[in-house]
Structure 1
Amino acid sequence: MPRRTVTLLTSTLVLVALLCAGVLIPVPYAEMSPGPTVNTLADHDGEPVLQVSGRKTYEASGHLNMTTVRVTSPDYRMNLPEAIWGWLSGDSLIVPHDNLYPQGTTEQQSTQENAEEFSQSQENAKVAALRELDIPVSSRIVVAAVTKDSPAEGRLHAGDVIESVDGTKVEEADDVAGAVTKHKVGEKVRFSVIPAAKAAAAEKRHEKPTGAHDITVTTVRSGKDQGPSRPIVGIQAGVDHTFPFSIDIKLADVGGPSAGLMFALGLVDKLTPGDLTGGKFVAGTGTIDDDGKVGAIGGIGMKTVGARRAGAQYFLTPADNCAAASEDTPDGLTLVKVRTIGDAVKALDKIHDGRTKGLPSCAKS
């Protein structure tokens, strides 16, 4: 066989082997791309996203769309050609796998975490919206979780309302841990609690729960995987709320905390006469806390692209995401900087009236 033919055949076989290796060998990357948007003022899958009963609501036109990002799952292993295609494509972002999923995270763990964050964002959105409208919301400190095989297991339960610890009323979730750590290991801590079942019944009646009784739990030393050594009883405290009427947020197959701002604005719009947007198409993103503060989120570039594709003209952007979002803003989309739900409502008033020159804008870093 001529040398030239042998060389050509060898090169071809090497190329085929490299291509096969590229397809078969996974690379440590994940892909992010624009996801769908959902109008919080409208129906989704046949039912309203925001459902309020026991309080008068008002029809709202326009759009207040929450935005999403599609990501490859924790268990998916991308190959080299897929990564190269993603890098070359302007519609997606290729990032190190560990940036999205810390090493060892399973798909089940990721799904659970996203669901918990989404649930908390819904609760925060309700509180922020009602407080923005000066509608009273009562709050209480509860047992959010009980650690398995801990001293608290079987004595305290998730949903129990914590009135006081050692006779001192608790105002914040952190007060519980602070009270426990004042003890030495082996000492008893006295909790005054309202059982979860009584609290849930009062919640259905939109009443403040009553009927507290004392329970004592003995402290133990925290484990090596629980941070610095300290006395613990094995509970995590959280905050729960009683609303003066029923609010349900119906949106399946979405996770994470980033829809909080748009849920809150949708509720404000539904609970007040007129339209916040004046019929305009507004999208946005951002976490929200009980006090209405808006926090940064991930994948801002993918969300602005998805919003513009859906038809958005304005995009409510967390202040801490502004620099990144303004680096590559889609044509025809105006970024509006917000730090609180109050900022967002004021911006929507300007959009409604056409006073857009006065909108707080995002600037490049």
Structure 2
Amino acid sequence: MTVLAARTGAGLRWLDPFDPADWPERERPTHLVSGLLSTTLTVLAGAPTAGKTHLAVGMAAALLNGERTFLGRELSGELDSVAFICTDADGAASVRRRIAPLVATPGSKRVRLVDYTGAGETEWTALTDAVADLAPGLLVVDNVLGLVDDVNDNGEAKRVTAPLLRLTQQGTAVLLLTHTGKPGPTGPAQGVNAAIGARTWSVPARVKATLTAREKDGRRQIKAHNNDGEPVTVDARLDVVGEAPVWTPGTGDGGPGQQEETKATAGDMWDALAERVVQEQPPGVMTARGLARHYAASVGMSEDYVRTRLGSLVCWNETRWEHKG
């Protein structure tokens, strides 16, 4: 034990940055999703209807599926497990309905959801200890307002974030969702679109991101400030199929990155593609993910989008593809 550890009684020790023996499990990428999602703590803020949960679900599904990119940003690898702590009413059930259609191989992945309504330190510590035992690659906490009585209380913020930071030290990335303040005459105290409440919520975060939305056409913009890189701005489009979120890159000028569909023609196009699947029976393709890889280029859509749409229309029946219903 070093002199520092002896004095503090905290079991602290100095680490040598040039000695690999001091870093056996500490070498890991800085981001799960480049510029958007840290491997430690990320805070994502947005208005109540901006789509924060949709974005969290979209990133989680991409990581579970081993996708190469999400919204044009590189992923560091594939995750085997993800957990969600939900504080909104119907939170866990809502996340289930959103993420279940997006995970390509649910039998080989662990997605764990829990509704949390506790407000005390004992309950929160017990829950985060349970998360430590589960050891997911990513924990999503949705959202801050359900964790404390006063979001402006620095002490309450420290009580909640301290166990989350310990989880990041054990290898679990944490995504903390919160709201932005209402703009008012001069904007929120920390600036327009800043996370509400005490600064303690976001100070320890390696990535601080905001999500803004134009509800009428599904256009979204993510702005992220990184301790480990340059600021990132991502324009995106959100489509909700059933309840599953499908994210596609934007053009950067407010326009969607994939082909626009009018409501009059979208249904016809997907019905025609489903019929094509049934007629062609693509050789060796027995999963929705395989269908997406086979047909995405031909329709000019992302694999995730094609998989979700076709998954709602056709199913594999042991030997062949058939129409659902």
TM range (shorter): under 0.3
TM-score calculated relative to the size of structure 1: 0.25
TM-score calculated relative to the size of structure 2: 0.27
Larger radius of gyration: 1
